[in-house]
Structure 1
Amino acid sequence: MSAKNILILAGDFVEDYEIMVPYQMLVMVGHNVHVVCPDKKKGQTIRTAIHDFEGDQTYTEKPGHNFALNASFKDIKPENYDGLVISGGRAPEYIRLNDRVLEIVRHFANTNKPIAAVCHGIQVLTAADVVRDFTLTAYPAVKPEIELAGGKYIDIAMDAAHVDRNLVTSPAWPGHPAFIREFLNLLGTTITC
């Protein structure tokens, strides 16, 4: 297996598990992973939030960890990356307002490179207008945005993932095993034991 270059888009109050686990899993299998945030540089940190499912009408939110960025947003050239991950949490609601973020997402969509988005990360995809005619999933509160953007929302278990062409989506962090497995499949990564 040759190492792939993966880009992760994030921002302050990204969901803790949704940044930490994909980053660690992708590095673990040997890929080069850069995590960036608009207006931040390599070595700066972003704050995370832990979202949990505790029987309320929606998730609860607690302070998470600080996550150190390992690349500078301004230096990113999407053509140098083989795949894109968009983490969820609260970050997607505001990083999607950044025109460069949307350009980066459109590059991956227009070149059919693998894209993985989890939970509210799908908000970045809808803002970039790249879900038209795709079936995908997200945290259920994002369903109206998917449909307004021309996608078809599918309701799946929180621990599942869905693939349509070059796009893998999952409703939330409990789906990480399936989500990462499907993203690795799209990247052509094989793991032998």
Structure 2
Amino acid sequence: MSPSKPKVLIIIGDAAETLDTMYPFYRLQEAGFQPVVAAPQRRRYQMVMHEVKPGWTITKEWEGYTIEADIAFADVDPEQYAGILFSGGRAPEYIRYDEDLVRITKHFFAADKPIASVCHGVEIPAYADCVRGRRMATVAKCRFDLEVCGGVFVDEPCVVDGNLVSGRTFHDNGHYVGPWIKLLEKACQPVA
């Protein structure tokens, strides 16, 4: 890890969506940030790929790439990070109950740092009680999770609500990741 580059957390677990994770990971590197993959434990995780195939009424899942977590949630000092991304896939449904992840999530919302969320990623800030009154995009099947926790569902490829940038699925990567990175760049500029 480079001490000179601002660090940004990418939150994952087993069954995190491959494109929801890897596209922002590489875009952060291109923009001069150091992506740090955080998960329940420091180990290798299996990502997946999701798509609603023609003729299917539910999402089909395939194995995707694997990724190594750089740090466990319990070891994260959120003060050291410029921003955070909640990746999608099935992982958020399971990891959202982790007390350290809730602590981390609440920090980024309270500190007004740049936050990105895609697809099922919304389940984490929703569970952490951080979405009340916030406008967000998410996959339609997570609309209930957002709204029951006080958030406002918006069916658009990129929704910016202050420090919070969100997209519906990996199909929106080209729409929401860029605006989130611009917020990170602005937040990391030296004060004149």
When normalised by structure 2's length, the TM-score is: 0.90
2:51 maps to 1:52: yes
Cα distance between partner residues in 2 of 1:75 and 1:152: 32
Q: Give the aligned partner of residue 88 of structure 2.
A: 88
1:11-50 paired onto structure 2 within 5 Å: 11-38=13-40, 40-41=41-42, 44-50=43-49
2:171 maps to 1:174: yes
Cα distance between partner residues in 2 of 1:82 and 1:174: 25
When normalised by structure 1's length, the TM-score is: 0.90
Q: How far 1:119 moved relative to its partner?
A: 0.1
Map Cα deviations across residues 74-101 of structure 1 (whole Å, 9 max, x no partner). Answer: 3210011110001000100011010110
Q: How far 1:132 moved relative to its partner?
A: 0.5
Cα distance between partner residues in 2 of 1:79 and 1:146: 26
Structure 2 unaligned blocks of 5 or more: 187-192
Structure 1 unaligned blocks of 5 or more: none
Overall identity of the aligned pairs, in %: 31
**Does the CA-based 8 Å contact 2:126-2:145 persist in structure 1?**
yes
Q: How far 1:151 moved relative to its partner?
A: 0.8
- After the TM superposition, which segments of 4 or more aligned residues of structure 1 sit over 4 Å from their partners? none
Q: Tell me which amino acid in the other structure corresponds to 1:117.
A: S
Distance 1:90 1:161, change over 3 A: same
Map Cα deviations across residues 3-43 of structure 1 (whole Å, 9 max, x no partner). Answer: 421011110010011111111111122101110111x12xx
Cα distance between partner residues in 2 of 1:101 and 1:72: 9
Q: Give the aligned partner of residue 64 of structure 1.
A: 64
2:159 maps to 1:162: yes
Cα distance between partner residues in 2 of 1:170 and 1:117: 7
Q: Give the aligned partner of residue 150 of structure 2.
A: 150
What is the DSSP-based 3-state SS (H/G/I as helix, E as strand, rest coil) of the residue aligned with 1:188? helix
Work out the number of aligned pairs and report it.
182
Tell me whether 64-73 or 14-23 shows the greater mean CA deviation.
64-73
Q: How far 1:54 moved relative to its partner?
A: 2.2
**Does the CA-based 8 Å contact 2:136-2:153 persist in structure 1?**
yes
Q: Give the aligned partner of residue 105 of structure 1.
A: 105
Q: How far 1:72 moved relative to its partner?
A: 3.7
Q: How far 1:161 moved relative to its partner?
A: 1.2
What is the DSSP-based 3-state SS (H/G/I as helix, E as strand, rest coil) of the residue aligned with 1:14? coil
